[in-house]
Structure 1
Amino acid sequence: MKKFLSIILIIIMSAMTLVGCQQKSDNSVKKIGFVVSTLNNPFFVDLKSGIEERAKELGYEVVVLDSQNDPAKEVSNMEDLTVKDVDIVLLNPVDSDSAVASVMIANNYELPVVTVDRAANGGEVVTHIASDNAVGGSMAAQYLIDQLGGKGNIVELEGTAGSSAARDRGQGFDDKIAESNMNIIAKQIADFDRTQGLTVMENILQSKKDIDAVFAQNDEMALGAQKALEDMGMKDVLIVGFDATDDAVEAVKNGTMAATVAQQPLLIGEAAVNAIDKILKGDKVDDFIPVELKLITRN
């Protein structure tokens, strides 16, 4: 009987040791909490892929939570991360003002925060990784100025109100256009969404027909606007988007869009994880890490 109990005790002790080793192994893997504004947009799907691929290469685990373009959901996601044993938070805000609450939650739990693509307007953030959206907006404007000889009427479709991407892209575009004789005859919010881009453009076309170009602050809105113009038989209007999603690049190739500013989300995701790797190792990083832009045209 004693021998039997000894054997049982040895088995139990071995099992506990095995579990302990497994737990130690799990805890040794650093976790990145990624709160993304929405996965109902090809750009952010690519951003997520870039993050996950680089994280896998460097041996990190990624916990992804989708805010579904809802600031309240974003706050809830950040609260969820505080109990998921993450080591650092990567935040892609729904909008820059409401993101302050999310950043403050992480700050209160002493979780380092890195923002990606869109900035937060407050709270303590270690670094921000994004393309220079103002430069991208200026690139789009310069392209239209060159194509139209500095004259013409432009419609501008804006992204989510309050987001740094919408603000900066719009500012860069508007400032450059102001240097020409071109006129922005309509400017409306379409929330970075293709369906809203279609609807907003249809509404604009009810009162304005003399349009030479459309600048949409992302490709989804550009593609929606393109459909509205096509339905009206207005195929000569130059359409410029932003992000270089697969659909937009294909539209540029077949001539239904004139250009798109390539933001390279896979590269942004990779750069974000590289920065996180440095932070978790105790190395210093710059406050802002820019990722290169380029203009994609048919020629």
Structure 2
Amino acid sequence: MGKKLLTIIILVVAMAFALAGCGGSKGQSSQSAGKETAKQETQASGKIRVAVIVKALNSDYWHLVEAGAKDAGAKLGVDVTVLGPAAETQVTEQVSMIEDQITKKVSALAVAPSQPSSAIPAFERAKAQKIPVVLIDTDAPWQDKVSFVGTGNYVGGKQAGEFLAKKLGKGAKIAILRGALGDPTHDERANGAVEVLKAQGLEVVTIQPANSERQMGMSVMENILQAHPDIQGVFATNDEMALGALRAIEAAHKNIIVVGFDGSPDALKSIKEGKLTASIAQNPYNIGYMGVEAAVKAVKGESVDKRIDTGTKVITKENVQEEMDKLAKILGKK
């Protein structure tokens, strides 16, 4: 009886150890799998994601910004998403895009605000979520931005004024077509030109908004020509409006100097053909590229200059081919 009981006890103990061993093996396996999943999640969430939100994706200018941003992302090994509404006047849609990217918890934002005052509340939400915000192309009076990356728009406007003053001389009558009211980029460009034109004795007879659109630039210019048939020069604060104004001028069979702003591929082609007189060329590729660079540095806790000027230059028939070759290479058209 005693031997039988001892045998039963030994068997029970052995089974208990076996079960414990199985349970331990299963537990270790689950723990290992959990660690691997967590590792994968960390790797997935650890990659820097930058959302670049521009004013619109309806022109070569913004496509050049997009190209620069994506090239920076590829070089730096970060994910870059470029978004923008259908038109620069769609302010509400742009703000919604910013808020959507905040909800998606991107690592950083690079934004060209169409209407800075409307975008600032969204920037504040990004700050609350510890998402750094870099402003590109257009600055905003928001002290918590990482940096402003873009053109010295006032200086560029002055370059346009100087070009017109040199070409036309004192007493010439000038019309200015500008982007949407409330857009500081176009405020600065127009104001810079006006300062020089007035100082040089030229008369700015009208400043009209054409919302950065070619078709609207044409219709606004048609109205200006009716009201001021003796116009001698036009400055448009972007190339789309300049090209639209040029159509109206050609249809009216007038010989008027037209200066645009951006140095877009369509504008350069027109300059080469002897139609558009000049364009104040920005470097939209660098705006996109350096904007993403600044955003990535901010995510990594590195120092970033508060203002990064990407420069401007006057493009005329004399230097247009060089600029065309450069942009064609960037856009993959050569």
Give the TM-score taking structure 1 as reference length.
0.91
SS of 2:311 mapped into structure 1? coil
Residue 46 (structure 1) aligned with residue 70 (structure 2): no
Q: CA deviation at 1:18?
A: 5.8
Rounded Cα–Cα distance in structure 2 between residues aligned with 1:269 and 1:82:
20
Decide which moves more: 282-291 or 257-266.
Answer: 282-291
Measured in 2, the distance between the counterparts of 1:25 and 1:286 equals 30
Counterpart among 306, 310, 313 of residue 294 in structure 1: 313
Does the 8 Å contact 1:29/1:61 carry over to 2? yes
Matching residue's letter, 1:120: A
Deviation at 1:25, TM superposition (A): 2.4
Larger radius of gyration between Structure 1 and Structure 2: 2
% same residue? 32
Could you tell me whether the CA contact under 8 Å between 1:103 and 1:123 is conserved in 2? no
CA separation of 1:10 and 1:282: change in aligned 2, threshold 3 A = closer
Matches of 1:42 and 1:93, distance apart in 2: 18
| Mapped contact 1:100–1:123 kept (Cα < 8 A) | no
The equivalences for 1:1-299 within 5 A come to 19-68=37-86, 69=88, 70-122=90-142, 124-234=144-254, 236-299=255-318
For the residue of structure 2 that corresponds to 1:162, the secondary structure is coil
Cα displacement (A) at 1:84: 1.5
CA distance in 1 between partners of 2:261 and 2:69 (Å): 20
CA distance in 2, matches of 1:109, 1:14: 32
Would you say the 8 A contact 1:104–1:123 is kept in 2?
no
SS in 2 for 1:86: coil
1:209, CA displacement in angstroms?
A: 0.9
Pair 1:284–1:17, CA change in 2 (3 A):
closer
**Is contact 1:90–1:114 with CA below 8 Å preserved after alignment?**
yes
How much has 1:19 moved relative to structure 2? Answer: 4.7
For residues 170 and 30 of structure 2, what CA distance do their matches in structure 1 show?
Answer: 80
Change (3 A) 1:101 1:74: farther
Kindly report the root-mean-square deviation, in angstroms, between the aligned alpha carbons of the 2 structures. 2.3
Is this contact kept in 2: 1:145–1:151, CA < 8 A?
no
Q: CA deviation at 1:114?
A: 0.6
What is the deviation of 1:13? 8.0
Q: C-alpha distance in 2, partners of 1:27/1:241? A: 44
Give per-residue Cα distances to partners, 1:221-250, cap 9 Å, x unaligned: 00000001011111x210000000000011
The alignment of Structure 1 onto Structure 2 pairs a total of residues equal to 296
Deviations 1:92-144 (A, max 9, x none): 10122222222122122221111000112336211101110001000011011
Whose helix fraction is larger, Structure 1's or Structure 2's? 2
C-alpha contact (below 8 Å) 2:54/2:82 kept by paired residues:
yes
* Structure 2 SS opposite 1:260: strand
The match for 2:8 is none
Secondary structure at the aligned position of 2:258 is classed as strand
> 3-state DSSP class of the match of 2:199?
coil
User: Structure 1 residue 151: deviation in Å?
Assistant: 3.3
Tell me, what secondary structure is at the counterpart of 2:182? coil
Give structure 1 stretches of 5+ with no counterpart.
Answer: none
What is the one-letter code of the residue matched to 2:199? E
Structure 2 CA distance, aligned partners of 1:271 and 1:88? Answer: 14
**Contact (CA 8 Å) 1:198, 1:228: kept in 2 or not?**
yes
Give the TM-score, by structure 2 length: 0.82
Segments of 5+ residues of structure 2 without an aligned counterpart are: 1-18, 20-24, 319-334
Contact 1:75/1:101, CA 8 A, preserved across alignment: no
State the one-letter code of the partner of 1:26.
A
Show structure 1 runs of 4+ deviating over 4 A.
7-21
Distance in structure 1 (CA, Å) of the matches to 2:154 and 2:175: 18
Structure 1 residue 11, shift from structure 2 partner: 9.5
Amino acid at match of 2:104: K
